[in-house]
Amino acid sequence: MPIRRTSSLSSTGIPIAAGTIVALSLLWAFWPITTFSFTSPTRTVSFSTGVNNLNIFSGDGATIGDHGFNLTHDPPEPTFYDDPDLTYTIDKPIKNWDEKRREWLWLHPSFIPGLQNRVMLVTGSQFNPCPNPIGDHLLLRFFKNKVDYCRIHGYDIFYNNVLLNPKMFTYWAKIPSVQAAMLAHPEAEWIWWADADAVFTDMDFKLPLQRYKSHNFVVHGWPELIYEKKSWTGLNAGVFLIRNSQWALDFMDVWSGMGPQTPNYEKWGEILRETCKDKTVPESDDQTGLVYLLLKEKEKWGDKIYVEDRYYFEGYWKEIVGKLENITERYNGVEKGERRLRRRHAEKVRGYSALWEEYLEGEGWRRPFMTHFTGCQPCSGTHNELYSRQSCLDAMEKALNFADNQVLRSYGFVHSSLGDSGSVLPLPFDYPA
Ligand SMILES: *[C@@H]1O[C@H](CO)[C@@H](O)[C@H](O)[C@H]1NC(C)=O
Ligand SMILES: *[C@@H]1O[C@H](CO)[C@@H](O)[C@H](O)[C@H]1NC(C)=O
């Protein structure tokens, strides 16, 4: 949006007047105009802004957020929040959520524009310090990575580090977190769960939500491994997208019915081992539970579950990390030949990722969207026997720095190498020409 500003100085150097707004474009005339000003020691600057649904700065301070939400508006009409029988805990099923959510939205109309594409990321970790001496540091870096992605894409993020249901530990803890997030965020259409140890390794890529428009749950997996091999690794439950809906609440109710908070936990362990012969952990786990629901209750849930295998919705780190240097060079190679791709721009300006598409379409070397450190357990420091602690650590650093380079680019810096977390170099103008 164009911003006009004028400044003036008095003879004493003290600001005296706000500038006048000169020309208004035709477009501007359609919207109410708000003027505000701030003073610096040397001048008074005044801005005018149009008020519309995309970007509003209101005269009354911070009541209107970046997205045009009216953050102070909460009319007296009762909503589900006023119902004493409705609980955030998973032990008591919620009914008619779609109607309840719709009514809330109707009373809070500023949240309606853009609703269909509104995603909220939910992640988290344990409540106590990590046993691994560098575990908390790694979790911080993993979280920073998610905050970066969410800032860039305008998504909200919630980090939960308490067990909302004390019996639902480790991988089961996400279900109560996701349910609570749905109630806390009726304005979010999708809740996106991502394990703490999953890293965004393509900061530009956006979820193809259009592809999921008639689905309620998206998970990374391979239909053949699920339906033919009946493998518990036919999908990965560490990252999923779930639509804020009654369907989701019903689904999570059934899914969590296999969890440690139920009297049937042990029995489910047996059933799941029986169903997926390659299952290694003896206890009932959420991932095998999901495979089970796809196998045994396909008619009930299957048509709303999208098993994504066309990109790295989340990807196994072992398969990815060795390629990151190569991918960096490929991207740099394309930029060397295309001036428009390497033009410097503000971080908020996102048109460049769309420009990239024509170069990436069908290319096997597109940045993997999410890299998941399955089996590395950064917080506990224990890890799968298949790899050494050092190989996990080196791989995590590489993936985090690979992602960080994409962020730092907008700030004018780059890591000196993917293995070097500690130092950066300033980027020369027109890099990487
Ligand atoms: C936001 O809501 C408050 C309270 O309902 C209302 O007074 C105000 O006019 C609203 N602001 C906008 C920009 O709609
Ligand atoms: C990247 O890998 C491909 C093969 O996968 C290879 O042909 C290419 O030379 C590599 N590029 C670089 C810059 O290492």
The CATH number that applies at residue 242 is 3.90.550.10
Do 23 and 136 reside in the same domain of the chain?
Answer: no
Do 253 and 172 reside in the same domain of the chain?
Answer: yes
313 lies in some domain: no
Q: In terms of DSSP bridges, do strands 217-221 and 315-316 run parallel, antiparallel, or are they unpaired?
A: unpaired
Residues with CB under 6 A from ligand 2: 326, 329
Beta bridge partners of 220: 236, 308
Any ligand 1 atom below 6 A from CB of 70: yes
224 lies in some domain: yes
Look at residue 52 in the predicted model and tell me its pLDDT: 39
Do 142 and 280 reside in the same domain of the chain?
Answer: yes
User: Last residue of a domain, which of 259, 277, 308?
Assistant: 308
Q: pTM for the full model? A: 0.86
Do 125 and 149 reside in the same domain of the chain?
Answer: yes
What ranges in 171-280 are assigned the alpha helix state H?
174-184, 223, 246-256, 265-275
Do 103 and 31 reside in the same domain of the chain?
Answer: no
Distance CA 106, CA 420 (A): 51
Do 104 and 13 reside in the same domain of the chain?
Answer: no
Query: 321: closest CA among 400, 416, 214?
Result: 400
Do 270 and 349 reside in the same domain of the chain?
Answer: no
123 lies in some domain: yes
Distance CA 196, CA 239 (A): 10
Tell me: the pLDDT tens digits for 64-88? 556 789 999 999 999 999 999 999 9
Q: Vertex 348, ends 344 and 350: CA angle to 5°?
A: 75
Please, which pLDDT band fits residue 382 given cuts at 50, 70 and 90?
confident
Do 192 and 262 reside in the same domain of the chain?
Answer: yes
Give me ligand 1 centre to Cα 49, in Å.
Answer: 17
More confident residue, 407 or 362: 407
Sign of the alpha-carbon torsion through 224, 227, 233, 235: positive
Tell me: the pLDDT tens digits for 214-248? 999 999 999 999 999 999 999 999 999 999 999 99
432 lies in some domain: no
Query: 282: closest CA among 224, 222, 232, 316?
Result: 232
87 lies in some domain: no
Cα Rg, the chain, nearest whole Å: 25
Do 329 and 263 reside in the same domain of the chain?
Answer: no
User: Last residue of a domain, which of 264, 280, 308?
Assistant: 308
DSSP labels, 135-184: HHHHHHHHHHHHHHHHHHHT-EEEEE-S-SSTT--GGGTHHHHHHHHHHH
116 lies in some domain: yes
Do 216 and 102 reside in the same domain of the chain?
Answer: yes
Count of other CB atoms within 10 angstroms of residue 263: 6
Domains: count for the chain: 3
Atom of ligand 1 lying closest to residue 58 CA: 13
Do 279 and 150 reside in the same domain of the chain?
Answer: yes
Question: Is the per-residue pLDDT at 1 higher than 60?
Answer: no
Do 145 and 278 reside in the same domain of the chain?
Answer: yes
Tell me: the pLDDT tens digits for 153-180? 999 999 999 999 999 999 999 999 999 9
Look at residue 17 in the predicted model and tell me its pLDDT: 34
Tell me: the pLDDT tens digits for 11-25? 333 333 333 232 333
User: Last residue of a domain, which of 15, 37, 72?
Assistant: 72
Look at residue 9 in the predicted model and tell me its pLDDT: 33
Tell me: the pLDDT tens digits for 259-282? 999 999 999 999 999 999 999 999
238 lies in some domain: yes
Q: Whose CA is nearest to atom 1 of ligand 2?
A: 326
Q: Whose CA is nearest to atom 14 of ligand 1?
A: 70
Any ligand 1 atom below 6 A from CB of 77: no
162 lies in some domain: yes
Q: Whose CA is nearest to atom 13 of ligand 1?
A: 70
Any ligand 1 atom below 6 A from CB of 64: yes
Tell me: the pLDDT tens digits for 29-49? 333 444 444 444 444 444 444
Q: Domain of 13?
A: 1-72
Any ligand 1 atom below 6 A from CB of 32: no
Question: Is the per-residue pLDDT at 368 higher than 90?
Answer: yes
Please, which pLDDT band fits residue 381 given cuts at 50, 70 and 90?
confident
